[in-house]
Amino acid sequence: MDLSAVSKATVKAQSSLDIVKYSSLAVSAVSILVSLLILFLVVWPKLSETLQIKNSNSELTQKADSLKQKAGILSRLDQAELEEQVVASEQLLPSGKDTFLLISQIERAAASSGILLNRVESTPGLLDTASGGASGNPAAPSAGAQTEIAPSIKVSVSLTSGYSSLLSFLNNVLTIPRVVSVSDLSVSAASSEGSSQLKASMSIIAYFKELPTDLGSIETPVAELSQSEKDRLEKIINTGLSAAPAVPQVPVGREDIFAPF
């Protein structure tokens, strides 16, 4: 019996089995690679797109709910009351300097307090209308300087009064229907002979804010007024000063005599 022929046949059969085994593994590996390619090239982009659509739908739902709440708030507003509050807000923080109106309010506060105004002065061109800073100093403010929250105009006042009348005047000034502050207050005796009269000087700073020129986003939420804000506006409305008195036009040659030179 030829054992060499049997050995060769056995080796050949073993080689055939190895080829078949490795061929099946290669097919499995190719199938896995194709599946991974399909996963990364087709399934993953679609999954990412689906997640983006889901997030977008969630954001749109939140925006729709916000717009519904905003529409509900706007539908509850009373038009007549809203118009009165807008006029009162303009009186509280006007869009222009309204210097003559401010001086008129100071004079009314003085008359109701029983004091004698010696001087009421506002220097033309002292303050810049855009930034509220000094027009003659274009340099940047120092690190310790405080930035004003709104443009302002300053009126210097000197007066003669008694102590109680002075307190009443200060109270009346701080309660006029406009955002103001008092600074540089100086008080001295009117004479050295023991008189009860006082001489006082101060600076009354009134703020204003230009109206916005750009409309806000429709998605911006509506902030409802607090009760204290409503009471403040109601107080201004009840004063009867919610409409600025008409001042006759004087041919001064300049559109705004209080603008910087």
Q: What is the pLDDT of residue 203?
A: 92
What average pLDDT score do residues 124-149 get? 43
Residue 231 has pLDDT above 60, yes or no: yes
The model carries a pTM of 0.56
For 250: left if phi > 0, alpha if psi spans -120 to 50, otherwise beta; the answer is beta
Look-up of token digits 């709104």? 150
Question: How far is 26 from 33, CA to CA, in rounded Å?
Answer: 10
- Are the C-beta atoms of residues 184 and 202 closer than 8 Å to each other? yes
Which tops the pLDDT comparison, 4 or 208? 208
22 band by pLDDT with thresholds 50, 70 and 90: low
136 band by pLDDT with thresholds 50, 70 and 90: very low
What average pLDDT score do residues 216-240 get? 77
Question: How far is 155 from 251, CA to CA, in rounded Å?
Answer: 23
